[in-house]
Structures are given as structure tokens and as C-alpha cells.
Structure 1
């Protein structure tokens, strides 16, 4: 997983385009931008059971995501809840666990890298430009079941989303 700073609004980086089958990221540097994060599907819109976070990211709308033993040595990644991240095509988004959660949770998408406290997803536009959204495999690792706060940054705007990993988030309190 590529770690980087937030992408500022008006970022003029040219993003590489993945191959038509979407199976492998483009690693060419001729476009001057970072390589694309491998996606598993191209969609016309986020799935019905997803909610928007800001304008460019969709996450599951389920009250509880079920974790399983991850097998990871990192104590902050003892359990894993698999879920797909959906990002508007052509966007770069940064995701991180909220302050105070760096030793309790990890995240990651795109099938590469190690669970980390922060991740960047480069949702390059697919060839032909038909899809508006791209889906990425990954999820959230936690030390124990919890309502996990994540910060999503896109186009210079931060949005917070709480995900219930093994337990529901209480709508009246924040973790």
C-alpha cells in the first residue's frame, strides 16, 4: 500500500490509466502521476448498500462488519473485517485511522502492502471512461471489536466515518 500525504484540491497530477481488464495497475511513469491502485470492478454508481463519504468515496452501510482472526503478528491487526472501498474514477483518496486509534486499528485496499494506519487509493479512470466508480478489495484490521473512526480525504476535504467492526456504532456518541 502506498502511503503519502493528502492530495490538495486542484491537484494537477496526471493519473496513469489501468489496462482495459483492470487486473493490474499501470506502473508507467510517463504520465507523471502515481501508479493506479488495482481495482476489482468498475461500476456506474456505488452499490445500494453503501453510503457516500464526501463526494468521492462510498463505504458499506451495514451497522456491523464481521471480523475474523487475521493471523497478523501486529497486535493492532488481530481481527480483520473484509469490505470493499468504492471510489469515484479519476480520484486520489487518502484514508487513515482517526487520531488516538493508530495503535488499535489498521486499513488497506488494493491487494498490495501491509495493513497500515494510513493508505492512499489512486482510482484511475478506466479505459473508455464508462465507469464512474471503482471497487477495491481490502478492509479494516482491529485489535478488538470496536466502532472505528476513519478520516477520508479527497479534493482537500476531510470527512469522518465510523465503522462498526464486530459491534455497532452508537449513533449518539463518538468513539
Structure 2
């Protein structure tokens, strides 16, 4: 009996520890609703963490630093990685904007030290929105500044956010970084047909 009760206590303690670890990880990411709320950044977050000078874009808040893009991600150009899933799940967003009726939450991964401009492709400005790093209201364009972290160890930075759409669609995004422009299609609530150009 004593060993069984000790095992039950150990099991409960292990489960509680696992729950606490999960809560800490999830608290680093914002929910779909939180990613759309305006927040006041800490006083020092407006300045890049290293080598900053006046006139440099503020750092976009990241949720993780990585040695490489994670499994399940594909490169777009040299500096950006997006999910490789054929379909990203979309849910009702609660947004008033008709172009942002559904929301698919996904992390954007950017090479440390790069500034990336993203926008929905021409003709999609009234059908889709995007945003990462607590940018506030979803927009047709977003800029992510992946400041190099202290110590310069990480090669990639992860940002919480995603894509909003009027209805499930294969959304074309234009990604510009370091003078290079690339296009990537992302299936929001529906897969992209490889034979169809959106």
C-alpha cells in the first residue's frame, strides 16, 4: 500500500510539473485574441538589443530563438521559414474587418539580424490580413525586425502571429528581405492546389 500511494503521489507531482512547464511555454505565446490587442512594450524594448543606432527599426518581440528552422517548416528565400503544412487550421477571429473573419495562427521564423517585409499579394488586400509580434490590428503588410539576441548565439527567431482571411483560401504572400523578393502560397483553412495560381 505504501509503495502504491508513493507512486500515486509521484505520478501526481510529475503531472503537476508537466502542467507548470506547459503553462510557462504557452504564456510566452499569445492567443489569437491577444495577438490583435495593442500592448505597451517595456521602456527598453524599442531599441534593438545589439549594435543599435538612432533610426534603426525597433525589435519585433520574439517568442523563441532557434539554431535552425524547426521540422515542418520550409524556407522562403534565405531569411524566412513558414509552415510546410498543406493546410493551416482557421477559426472565427471575432474581428470586425470582413477581410479578417477567420484566423490561422502560425509562427514566422526569421534569420536573426534580418528585417523582413511581408504583404498579401496584389488583388488580395480586401481578402486577407497578416501580422506577427503583437503588431496590433491585422494589416495587408507587416514588417518583422529579428534583432540578433544578446551573445549572438541564435541563428533564427520565432514570432507569434498568423494570417486572417475573409474565407478559407490559398493566400499568396510576398516576402522581401535583404534585397530579395519571394512569393509563397499558404493554405488557410483549405489546401493550395498546385495547378492553380491564386
TM-score by length of 1: 0.84
Structure 1: state its 5+ residue gaps. Answer: 1-22
Among residues 2, 24, 31, which one is paired with 2:53 in the alignment? Answer: 31
1:111 aligns with 2:111: no
Among residues 164, 172, 177, which one is paired with 1:154 in the alignment? Answer: 177
1:67 aligns with 2:86: no
CA distance in 1, matches of 2:95, 2:89: 17
Which has the higher relative contact order, 1 or 2, with Cα contacts under 8 A spaced 6 or more apart?
Answer: 1
CA distance in 2, matches of 1:53, 1:72: 29
Larger gyration radius, structure 1 or structure 2 = 2
* Aligned equivalent of 1:84: 107
- The offset of 1:133, in angstroms, is 0.1
- The offset of 1:26, in angstroms, is 2.6
1:55 aligns with 2:78: yes
Which 10-residue stretch deviates more, 26-35 or 102-111?
Answer: 26-35
Structure 2: state its 5+ residue gaps. Answer: 1-40
CA distance in 1, matches of 2:126, 2:100: 9
Q: What SS class does the counterpart of residue 128 from structure 1 fall into?
A: helix
Superposition RMSD in Å: 1.7
Q: Which has the higher strand share?
A: 1
TM-score by length of 2: 0.75
- The offset of 1:112, in angstroms, is 2.8
Q: Which has the higher helix share?
A: 2
CA distance in 2, matches of 1:38, 1:97: 22
CA distance in 2, matches of 1:121, 1:111: 10
Q: What SS class does the counterpart of residue 52 from structure 1 fall into?
A: strand
Q: What SS class does the counterpart of residue 152 from structure 2 fall into?
A: coil
* Aligned equivalent of 1:170: 193
Residue correspondences, number: 154
Q: What SS class does the counterpart of residue 116 from structure 1 fall into?
A: coil
Report if aligned partners of 2:61, 2:133 keep a CA contact under 8 Å in 1: yes
CA distance in 2, matches of 1:170, 1:158: 22
CA distance in 2, matches of 1:28, 1:151: 27
